[in-house]
Chain A
Amino acid sequence: MTTDTAPKPSFWNRLAHPGQFVALTRPLLWPLTIITAALFIAGLWFAFFNSPEDYQMGDTVRIMYIHVPTAWLSQFVYGIMAVSAIGSLVWRHPMADVSMKAAAPLGATFTALALFTGSLWGRPTWGTFWEWDGRMTSTLVLLLIYLGIVALWRAFDDQLRAARVIAVFTLVGAINIPIIKFSVDWWSTLHQPSSVFTMSGPHMPPSILTPLLVMAIAFTMLFLTLHLKAMHTEVARRRLMALQRQAAQTGKTA
């Protein structure tokens, strides 16, 4: 029964100190912003002026350039959260807590956007905004999980304690998401043997693939930029809350 402040590996040590993390990564913000903006400009140009309409889907293929990246991010961000959760539970890395918290609302937004663009795409191609299709439905469930996590963060008042608890829940969710995905697929084939439209695999012409890739990278960079900025804010907010608590307790106002 010994409690020592465990010595951490030195690389982590530097990143683990929130102040140092901010100092180390602040210079990255502007380059990231510029790269993101450039990628978006390129991607949008490809998307609107330099891509043929798909022989099968018509002009609506352009929705794909925003649908697929947001859909991809909806899963990627959860991955980031799960990895951060491990970091926070196993290594007790303070920045992992911060990363986990900053990612949740971003992930929720991208998931909502994937749903939004998907249903806008569904209307012209399938004739309906919403179909209880496996992929759509499991994305909806993912959104609900994200929103649950956001609500959970808001419900805790002590964010330090919140982090480890939410990490546990995030990991439970991470195990469960593949199960949900599988079960929903099973369910929708069970109920709807005829799928109107099967989402095409990656066999598409390069003229479509290029803008898609560029947009996907652009969105990912956008996420990284926003995530980093939000992490910096979160670090500041924690310091602020500690200061306020301390000020309240000691009664020092001057």
Chain B
Amino acid sequence: MDTRSLAVDVRAPSGLGRFGEYGGRFVPESLIAACEEVEHAFRDAWADPLFHGQLDRLLAVYAGRPTALTPAWRLSAELGITLLLKREDLAHTGSHKINNVLGQALLAKRMGKQRLIAETGAGQHGVATATAAALLGMSATVFMGERDIERQELNVFRMRMLGAEVVPVGSGSRTLKDACSEALRHWVSSVEDGYYCLGSVMGPHPYPWLVREFQRVIGDEARTQCATELRTATPDFVVACVGGGSNAAGTFAGFVDTPARLIGVEPEGGAAINSGLPGILHGFRTKVLQDEHGQISEAHSIAAGLDYPGVGPEHAYLADLGRAEYFTVSDAEVLDAVRRLAKAEGILCALESAHAVAWVLRAVEDGEIPAGSTVLLTLSGRGDKDMHTLMELS
């Protein structure tokens, strides 16, 4: 495909995996060889039509791709815009995470690895990893903060049903960032047969690049779908929520060479781009929430999947360049957005995805999105996992 090779060439990170001053490979020496092995395997696979064939088939016949592009009919009419929803909530396991995980699992298999290692916060990436492992006959070890295990009991059970081992992480804040640290630690001791299957466009090179490439299917599909759905062929705005930033990166990848304004939406309490400072965490340089001493802060958002103090390096770079813009929304706006989308369109989206919806609602109100605009919004996942949270709040 044209766009695919174009993007690899034009936007593959330079040198040591740099996106401008961000990215890189800040890992213990013990992990350097493993990162290089992943990088070489990925370069090789990504240039191999056979690999693409395998992956594309899995995405189609297993994960349910292409996902639909749904015009939000009633909301569009209310808002006076044309709002299109890219429905990652319809993908197998309920979010875009499966795109990345199928790619990495196939890659791991190609590398001869038997075991997937993953971190998870809300459990979505963990469930996706457990799923891919089951599908390909591999084993999976998922690290999850003790606090998240309590909050997301159901996803823990799903992972175990799928045959994965879920390892509670009791250190630090006992949430995603600690699960990430623990997964890295575990990877050090198991590089032989273990493959670290990272859940977003973060971590040491080549992960931010590789995960974006596996997620660009969102943007590529949406690009094609917009071309039939919109008179203007490309939308005026392309909006996605940003935790680590993988659904946004995958979406943006399809539109970075168009005039569309690219908008990433962060949670107010976990806005690495809006409130973070350059720093190094989990193997890469990026904008990170940290105190004046350089200690990493905890992120606090109603959406567990956005509770990460850092952000993918490419986003930090796009923000500095001004090519993408990043805004924040509050938990209250997010809750309102979930309800409005449910009532207007019959779609219960994930709290994460609702960040993007919330921004659109506000931006139409304050004129940031002019009447008559066309807006593509990636609905990264479904809300089933959040029903307990919503119930407790209502």
Please say whether chains A and B are actual partners in one complex: no
Interface residues of A (CB under 8 A from B): none
Interface residues of B (CB under 8 A from A): none
